[in-house]
Amino acid sequence: MDISAKSSMAAQAQGPTASGAKPAASVAAAKANVADVKGALPDKASIDVPEFKTKDIQKAINELQAYVDKMGRNVDFRMDNSIDRPVVTVRDSNTQELVRQIPTEEVLEMAARLEDTLQEWKAGFFFDNKM
């Protein structure tokens, strides 16, 4: 069997779309299937992300700290009240020297300054706005 006979047989096996031309009926059916699928899907995906309250975060921090303490590790978990976010510190077991803090002290200071600036701006915006 030569190559042209094989390609001819393959074209017949694939049906009328092998030549590149698509019958109008199959195109219409494909568009209808796409429309059905699109109609079944929501316009936007809704992602429900739970909001955690400060007391829930504090409870989780306390539980995590108790677990780490039982393991004999020098890792501290606490809430930074100036930015209302958790902070993790790792200390050297022998010297108690700070090895790492997440977020760093610089980031905490910057976040606190930014929060203060935003509060001042909001207060000025509401009270200094003249018409």
pLDDT tens column, 63-84: 988 888 887 778 888 888 877 7
Q: Decide if 18 contacts 10 (C-beta within 8 A).
A: yes
Residue 15 lies in a domain: no
The enclosing H or E element of 101 equals strand 98-102
The pLDDT-based confidence of 6 (bands split at 50, 70, 90) is: very low
State pTM to two decimals. 0.47
Separation CA 60–CA 129 (nearest Å): 43
Separation CA 80–CA 16 (nearest Å): 69
Residue 45 lies in a domain: no
Three-class secondary structure of residue 7 per DSSP: helix
Residue 89 lies in a domain: yes
Residue 95 lies in a domain: yes
Q: Locate tokens 């780490």: which residue?
A: 68
Residue 12 lies in a domain: no
Q: Which domain holds residue 83?
A: 54-127
Q: Residue 63 contacts by C-beta under 8 Å, 6 or more apart in sequence? A: none
Residue 88 lies in a domain: yes
Q: How many domains does the chain have?
A: 1
